[in-house]
Amino acid sequence: MTSTTLRAAPPSAAPAPRASRAITPARLLPWLLLAPSLAALGVVTGWPLVRLLWLSFQEYERAQLMGVPAEWVGLQNYTQTLTDSRFWTVTARSFVLMVVCVVLTITLGTLIALLLMKLGRAMRLVLSVGLLLAWAMPPLAAMLVWGWMFDTQYGVVNHTLTALTGESWMGHPWLIEPLQFFAVATLVIVWGAIPFVAFTLYAGFTQIPHEVIEAAQIDGASAPKRFFRIQVPYVRAIYTVLIVLSMIWDLKVFTQIFVLQGIGGVRSETSTLGVYIYEMGMAQGHYGTASAIAVVFTVIMLAISAYYVRATIKEEEL
């Protein structure tokens, strides 16, 4: 007769203790350290945004600057903005300019970063100093120099073209015709943005292991294949950051367009969103409408920034 031995089941594992939600000094310390920065950010950035949103719901004109109470109009400013054909024309113009500038900036910045890797130490130092000077120059000072270069009567550009082509370019106005105006504006914007892109990509390219590049070269991979299949994947996160930041910077460009308009551009045909907001508010005194346009513009910026944040989080999770 066989006997069956019953074994006791092993005791189940005890449930893991729940993390305590009590406020401890260790949890409170990071917020205490961040408190001064958060307070400064709230005063410098938060309050102007709240004030901007508040004005966008009011009919705030020049009379309100003298103490006259503003009339609450609700969504009227937004309705007028979104149904105004000029707003959409300026927005489309701004996006086209942004796309052209971003493509040129990233492309030329990549080429200069690759050039920095190929140059010797002395020439790399000379090129780096030149890029730093262009990057460090204040936009307003740079625009004065560019304005002199494209001056109708005494500009070096007209003199150079006259000497190279044998035809007289003296007196040629570069800023009256909108297409030529934006060609000059694109040149100025890209010139100022290339150094940051070039230095950032150069720093990223130098972190790629040389063994990987050498192995691909031994296997017979051409330079374009090594670039697109090895170097670009290694710095894909850097490209994402640079593209998104360039989109934001180029979409809200103001100084370059405003100064070029003052030199000789036709404001009604060359305004971008930044200049258009300034024109509606400071020039025409429609502060409520200008605030509504600025809020819409801020929403566009937040949408672009959200993509950047989401892409950054995905890269960190990989």
Q: Which is more confidently placed, 95 or 240?
A: 95
Asked whether the beta carbons of 49 and 301 are under 8 A apart, the reply is: no
Give the whole-angstrom CA distance, residue 90 versus residue 279.
Answer: 12
pLDDT score of 5 more than 50? no
Q: How many CB atoms lie within 10 A of CB 112?
A: 18
Residue 95 has what pLDDT?
A: 94
Highest mean pLDDT among 23-32, 89-98, 267-276: 89-98
pLDDT score of 240 more than 90? no
Q: Which is more confidently placed, 65 or 192?
A: 192
Residue 21 has what pLDDT?
A: 63
Highest mean pLDDT among 21-30, 190-199, 261-270: 190-199
pLDDT score of 308 more than 80? no
- The shares of helix, strand and coil residues in the chain, as percent rounded to the nearest 5, are 75, 0, 25
Asked whether the beta carbons of 235 and 201 are under 8 A apart, the reply is: yes
Highest mean pLDDT among 69-83, 126-140, 168-182, 189-203: 189-203
Residue 182 has what pLDDT?
A: 93
pLDDT score of 28 more than 60? yes
Give the whole-angstrom CA distance, residue 126 versus residue 206.
Answer: 19
User: Rounded to an integer, what is the distance from CA 73 to the centroid of its chain?
Assistant: 33
Give the whole-angstrom CA distance, residue 316 versus residue 289.
Answer: 41
Torsion, CA 43, CA 45, CA 47, CA 53, rounded to 10? 180
Give the whole-angstrom CA distance, residue 89 versus residue 301.
Answer: 18
Task: Write down all domains in the chain, each with its CATH number in brackets.
Answer: 67-317 (1.10.3720.10)
Q: What digits encode the pLDDT tens for the residues 6-20?
A: 454 555 555 555 555
pLDDT score of 3 more than 50? no
Query: Helix, strand or coil for residue 290?
Result: helix
Residue 18 has what pLDDT?
A: 55
pLDDT score of 123 more than 50? yes
| pTM check: above 0.85 | no
pLDDT score of 209 more than 90? no
Give me the amino acid identity at 185.
A
Residue 184 has what pLDDT?
A: 93
